[in-house]
Amino acid sequence: MRTRHRMRDAVPRSWRRVARRVLLSRWDHRRDRREFRRYVRPTDVFVVGHPKSGNTWIAYMLAVILKDGDVGSQVTMASIGHFIPAIHGNDPQVSSFDTLSDPRIFRNEWPTYPHLYPQTLYLVRDPRAVLVSYYHHYRVTTGDTATPLDAFIDTYLREGCIRSWEPRLVRWDKQVADWMERGNHQPVMVVRYESVHQDRRGVLREVTRFCGIHATDASIAMADERGSFESMRLDEQRSGAEAYPQEPGRKGWFLRRGLIDGWEDELSLNSRRAIETEFGPMMQAIGYTLDT
C-alpha cells in the first residue's frame, strides 16, 4: 500500500489531472456512441457538408417535401429545425427526436460517428465560393467586421478551421476526401451545389429516392418553387433565419447572393492562388476548374 502511495505521489498532480480528464473523455465517448447506436434508425439520413455548401438550402426543400408540399406554409427559414433538426457535433441528440416520422433527416456539419450513419447526403461546393460565403457568415455571427477576407482565408488554410469560432470543423479538402472514400463502403450520395442550381427539380427527385421519401410530383414541384433564391429570401425577410435569430437582415442576410460564381468579384488574386494551391488536386478530382 505504501509503495502504491509513493508511486502515486511521484506522479505530478497536473499529470494525474490530465489522465483523469482523458479517462473521463473516453468514458463519455463510449457512452455517447452507445446512445447513438441505440436511437439511430436504419432509415435515418444525415445531411453533411462544409458550412455554406447548400446544407440549409437542401434541408429547406426536403422539409417542404416531407410536409407534402407544405400547404400551410409551416416550413420557414426560421423553423427548418422543427422538421430537419441540426445536431452539429452532437450525434446522440437523435434521441431527442423520437416523434419524427421515418425517414428522419438530420443536418450535421461536424459528425461524431459518421461510420455509423445509415445514409448520408454529402453536399459539396466550389471551395472558392464556400470560403467567401463562410467569411460573411463569420462576420455576422461573431460581429468581427475588422478581419479582411484575405486574412480570414489565410488563417483557414493554415489552421484548417477558424479555431476561435468553429474549432471542430474539418478543412474542405480533407472533408471531401473522407466522404468520397466513405462512399466506397457506405451509402453516400454526393450532391453538388452547382447541380442544384442548374436543376433543382431533377436533383430533388434523385435525393428523395435516395432518402426513401415517397414524394409526389406536386410536392417536388412546390419544393422546387419554394427553393428559388427569390422565394427563400422573401421567406427570410418575413420570418428571419434559423442561424440569425436577431431581427431579419439587421446584421446581414443568411441568403446573401445566391450565385454560383459570386466569388469571382470578391476574391483577390492572392486568395484565389492560395485556395487553388491548397485544394487544387481535390478540386480537379471532383470536376472544378482552376482559375489561376
Dist CA 147 CA 10 (whole Å): 48
**Residue 233 corresponds to which cell in the numbers above?**
429570401
27 CB-contact burial (10 Å; exposed 0-12 / middle 13-18 / buried 19+):
exposed
Q: For position 25, what pLDDT does the model report?
A: 65
**Is residue 27, in this structure, part of any structural domain at all?**
no
Structural domain includes residue 209: yes
Is 26 a member of any domain? no
Residue with cell 446573401: 256
Q: What is the pLDDT of residue 10?
A: 53
With respect to residue 38, please indicate whether it lies within any of the assigned structural domains. no
**CATH number of the domain encompassing residue 258:** 3.40.50.300
pLDDT under 70: residue ranges of the chain: 1-25, 27, 246-251
Percent of the chain at pLDDT above 70?
89
29, part of any domain: no
Q: What is the pLDDT of residue 23?
A: 47
In a domain, residue 30? The reply is no
pLDDT score recorded for residue 15: 47
User: Given this model, what pLDDT does residue 267 score?
Assistant: 97
User: Is 217 inside a domain boundary?
Assistant: yes
pLDDT at 27: 64
pLDDT at 72: 84
pLDDT above 90 covers a percentage of the chain that reads 79
Q: Are 74 and 67 in contact (CB under 8 A)?
A: yes
Note the pLDDT of residue 259.
81
Instruction: Look at residue 250 in the predicted model and tell me its pLDDT.
Output: 66
What pLDDT shows up at residue 258?
82
| Residues spanned by the domain of 269 | 43-285
| Residues comprising the chain, all counted | 292
Nine cell digits for residue 172 = 474542405
Q: How many domains, the chain? A: 1
Q: Is residue 31 part of a domain?
A: no
